[in-house]
Structure 1
Amino acid sequence: MRVAIVADVFPPLRSSGAVQLRDLSREFVRQGHQTTVLVASPDLKSAFRIDEQDGVTIARLRSPKTKDVGYVRRMAGEFLMPFAMKRNYRKSPIAGRPYDAVIWYSPTIFLGPIVRWLKRRNNCTSYLIVRDIFPQWAADMGLISRGPAFQLLDQVARYQYRSADVIGVQTPGNLSFFDDFRTAHSECQLEVLQNWLGDAPDRGCSIDLEATKLAGRRIFVYAGNMGVAQQMDKLLDCAVAMRDRDDIGFLFVGRGSEAGRLSQLAAERSPDTILFHDEISPDEIPGLYSQCNVGLICLDSRHRTHNIPGKFLTYMQAGLPVLASINDGNDLQKMVETRNVGRVSVAADGADLPGLASALIERELADPAIADRCRALSNELFSARAAVGQILDAVTQR
């Protein structure tokens, strides 16, 4: 099959979405499919650049900047992005390449126009991978009001839903969000498509914890974005509350709008037990986790949608049980508790996290099989092989 994957993130970006799309494209190739990735590239000087990596053709298409800019500029860039991608793709030497399926990844919600164009041009099936429900989650958290801006973004999101023949959401709980959409668009197939990861060998890591102030401690690690949506103060408060324990340390690795503020607070409140480090290459993550004991997850308690963060997958793959602070009712809670792979707090203020952390570190010591349960969960539900197989089944049956 000839597959096009459309996205606004891809390595060398280090986000979880970029890593997922890299792993997905590699797995399509591994299963024998001709795979082309069309990715928005705001830093590109020319209209396009064509790369070949791991058997995947990557068409990097110049587009407006949408990351690390103000809200107005970001909004304008997001709206213009798919049209710039289309224009620059048509200039590329692979513009005439045919496709049997178009797959795209949300977030972002703005890729509908280029997907519709590719779909009409190739008379093929489209599959939308939805990893968060935007703008609903932003409104739930009070980041935007449910006024005109929300209504506009909601219409953009619905346009992309209408562009899909199949929509894959990441948890069963998210299916209910689409109840009204399914009533109006019964021709669109809805299904649960679990998150995925490809194989991740340990290639070492530039962070050597034995050479830091956390040497000899059992490590709680957070690796990923540190932004408003993560409500990271709860994790920092937990770490500060446990600062008198000389056997435990907290490591935060990544970047984001809150990273600088949190690092400064940690230096003031608990300088000996908390370490912040800039983001590292995704290829270094397995080497980092091999030095750690528990993975940390934090989501804003105001979320009403369901979310299984990409970092949860990386923790499971590495055999790390999780300490998670999430919104009440999130499908992740049931998964963690029924599979016995960690502890979950749904308290809005995270006040119970220190107690849960202490219990989990003792459990991790007394129950070495917990690492095996984590890896088994990863292999069963979160493999790139399973994701590609499910997508192919869906598009070939249309």
Structure 2
Amino acid sequence: MRIAIVADAYAPLRTSAAIQLRDLAAEFIAQGHHPTVLIPVPGLQSTWALDNIAGVEVLRVRSPRTKDVGYIRRTLTELYMPFAVLRGLRQSTLSQVRWDGVVWYSPSIFHGPLVSALKRASSCRSYLVLRDIFPEWSVDMGLMGRGLPYRFFKTIENYQYSVADVIGVQTPGNQAYFSNWSGRSKRRVEVLQNWLAEAPDTGCSISVRDTPLAGRTIFVYAGNMGVAQGMGILLDLAESLENRKDIGFVFVGRGSDSQRLRNDASARGLDNVLFFDEIASNEIPGLYAQCHVGLVALDPRHKTHNIPGKFVSYMQCGLPVLASINPGNDLAALIKQGKVGRVSTDTDVESLGSMAQALVTDITLDENFKNRCKTLAARLFSPEVAVKQIVAALQA
């Protein structure tokens, strides 16, 4: 199949979305398909550029910056983004290509006009890979009311859903959100698990043994540090375990809350916590090889379900998890049933601290922890499974 993959991030960017889409495109090729990634790129010298990135055809199109800018500017530039990509596509050497299917990744919620145009031109089906239910989560977090801005984003969100033939959500719990949408003919919502290709340990620029935390059992967090993660409880956890000189915490990444968390740790005088800047995705296995437990945090105000990409990466590298997540999240059952760690949904630091200490004991006594994690990753979170599922939906 000739497949258009629409997104706003791709390799060599280091975001979880960019890494997921890189692995997805590579797996499409491995299964005999021809994917082309269509992405907006700020600062591109020409209107468009057609590249080959690790064997994948990538059409990069000049577009305004949508990341690390103010909310109003970001909204306006994201609103324009799909039209910029469509214009670049029509001016490129791919303008006459007929697609057998369109796959797009959300966030962003603004790709709808581009996907609609591609579908009409090629008379093909589309598959929405939905990793973020916005603006609902923003309302849950108290970042937005249900006034005019909400209604604007809700209109954009609903239009995106209207051009999808199939929507792949992260967990069964998210399917209820689409009960009205999926009731219409020829529409379907299904669970499409996150995925991550296996990566070798090629080393890491971070060396824990050369830090004050050398020799300790290391709890690691690698990924975005933003409002949605609610990571304050992880610092509370570190502070509650400061007397345990055999336990340390390593935080790696970037995000809107990164500097605030660093400042908070410094103000508390925590000597069991280290922060590092974001590292390349190929260094992650080397980082995890030096650690013992992966940390997952989601703000308890969330009402939607989420299986973060970092959880998938922990499983793949055989790291059990300690998770503090919102009540009712399907991830809790997955962790408990798979016996791959401990999970808290009550925001009680004392309870989380007890789980952390119990987990330190568990991983010492239970030699099968690593194998259970890797088995879960192979069964649920492989690109091979994801591509087969998407192709089946596009061919239906």
TM bracket (short chain):
over 0.9
- Equivalent residue number for residue 235 of structure 1: 234
- Structure 2 CA distance, aligned partners of 1:349 and 1:150? 32
Answer whether contact 2:11 2:22 (CA < 8 A) is retained.
Answer: yes
Residue in structure 2 matched with residue 24 of structure 1 by the alignment: 24
Q: Which is worse superposed, 328-337 or 256-265?
A: 256-265
Q: How far 1:374 sits from its partner (Å)?
A: 0.3
The AA in structure 2 aligned to 1:264 is: N
| 1:36-55 → structure 2 map (5 Å cutoff) | 36-55=36-55
User: Partner of 1:352: helix, strand, or coil?
Assistant: helix
Q: 1:8 corresponds to which residue? A: 8
Hey, what does 2:294 align to over in structure 1?
A: 295
Distance (whole Å) between structure 1 residues aligned to residue 355 and residue 42 of structure 2: 43
Distance 1:191 1:378 in 2: 19
Query: 1:356: which partner in 2?
Result: 355
Task: Say if 1:325 and 1:350, in contact at 8 Å, map to a contact too.
Answer: no
Gaps of at least 5 residues in structure 2 are none
CA offsets 1:22-54 (integer angstroms, 9 cap, x no match)? 000000011111110001112323211211123
- Partner residue of 1:70? 70
Partner of 2:210: 211
Number of the residue aligned with 2:165 = 165
Partner of 1:277: 276
- Secondary structure of 1:252's counterpart equals strand
| Native 8 Å contact 1:101 1:125 kept in 2 | yes
Comparing 8-17 with 21-30, which one deviates more in the overlay?
8-17
Over residues 347-368 of structure 1, what are the superposed CA-to-partner deviations in whole Å (9 max), with x where a residue is unaligned?
Answer: 1354421111111111111112
What code does the residue aligned with 2:65 have? K
Q: How much does 1:3 deviate?
A: 0.8
- 1:240 touches 1:270 (CA, 8 Å); kept in 2? no
Q: Deviations over 1:91-116 (max 9, x none)?
A: 22222222101000011100000000
Structure 1 residues 105 and 350 mapped into 2: Cα distance closer, same or farther (>3 Å)?
A: farther
The 10-residue stretch of structure 1 (382-391 or 262-271) with the greater mean CA deviation from structure 2: 262-271
Instruction: Determine helix, strand or coil for the equivalent of 1:296.
Output: strand
For 1:357 and 1:348, the matched residues in 2 are separated by 14
Q: Given residue 198 of structure 2, which amino acid in structure 1 is its aligned partner?
A: D
What fraction of aligned residue pairs are identical, expressed as a percent? 54
Q: Is the 8 A contact 1:198 1:383 kept in 2?
A: yes
Hey, what's the Cα distance between the residues in 1 that align with 2:149 and 2:112?
A: 18
Query: Which residue of structure 1 lines up, in the alignment, with residue 220 of structure 2?
Result: 221
C-alpha contact 1:6 1:105 (8 A) present in aligned 2: yes
Q: So what's the TM-score if we normalise by structure 1? A: 0.98
Give the Cα separation in 2 of the matches to 1:95 and 1:64: 21
Are residues 1:143 and 2:127 paired?
A: no
Correspondence for 2:332: 333
Residue type at the aligned position of 2:387: V
**Could you tell me which residue of structure 1 aligns to residue 256 of structure 2?**
257
1:122-172: CA deviation from partner (whole Å, max 9, x where unpaired)? 111111011111110110110111111111111111111110111111100
Query: Is the contact between residue 3 and residue 36 of structure 2 (CA under 8 Å) also seen in structure 1?
Result: yes
Q: Distance between the aligned counterparts of 1:30 and 1:283, measured in 2?
A: 20
State the Cα deviation string for residues 305-336 of structure 1 (Å, max 9, x = none). 00000000000000000000100000000000
Q: Is the 8 A contact 1:63 1:85 kept in 2?
A: yes
Which residue of 1 is the match for residue 154 of structure 2? Answer: 154
Contact 2:239-2:270 at 8 Å conserved across structures = no
Distance 1:270 1:119 in 2: 56
Q: For the residues of structure 2 that align with 1:113 and 1:158, how far apart are their CA atoms?
A: 12
Residue 177 of structure 2 corresponds to which residue in structure 1?
177
CA separation in 2, counterparts of 1:17 and 1:41? Answer: 15
The Cα shift of 1:272 comes to 2.0
Cα displacement (A) at 1:55? 2.1
Q: Deviations over 1:259-301 (max 9, x none)?
A: 1111122123244210000000011101100000000000010
In the alignment, the residues of structure 2 paired with residue 165 and residue 229 of structure 1 have an alpha-carbon distance, to the nearest angstrom, of 29
Query: What is the CA–CA distance in structure 2 between the aligned matches of 1:204 and 1:150, rounded to whole Å?
Result: 45
2:135 touches 2:154 (CA, 8 Å); kept in 1? yes
Which consecutive unaligned segments of at least 5 residues does structure 1 have? none
Residue aligned with 1:246, SS:
coil
What is aligned with 1:117?
Answer: 117
Question: Within 2, Cα distance between the matches of 1:226 and 1:109?
Answer: 21
Indicate if the aligned counterparts of 2:252 and 2:279 stay in contact, CA closer than 8 A. yes
Q: Distance in 2 between matches of 1:352 and 1:104?
A: 40
TM-score for the superposition, normalised by structure 2: 0.98
> Could you say which residue in structure 2 is the equivalent of 1:345?
344
Residues 273 and 98 of structure 1, relative CA distance in 2, 3 Å threshold: same
Partner of 2:187: 188
Q: 1:64 to 1:330 in 2, by over 3 A?
A: same
Aligned alpha-carbon RMSD (Å) = 1.0
Distance in 2, Cα, partners of 1:348 & 1:106: 29
Contact 1:128 1:164 in 2 (8 A): yes
